[in-house]
Amino acid sequence: MKYNPLPFIIPCHRVIKADGTPGQYGGGTAMKQMIINMERVMSNE
């Protein structure tokens, strides 16, 4: 899912590898982790 042409329709940033690591993301691993963290905060509110 590294190259997703529709990131807002198919939320590929939520794909996590079986070993728990974030894996690849077109915007970079740091961006992927930031988006996941933001969603985690929003879901806890």
Which among 1, 12, 15, 36 is annotated as catalytic? Answer: 12
First to last CA, the chain: 29
Active site residue 12: yes
The CA–CA distances, whole Å, from 15 to 5, 7, 28, 44, 45 equal 15, 12, 13, 20, 23
The set of catalytic residues is 12
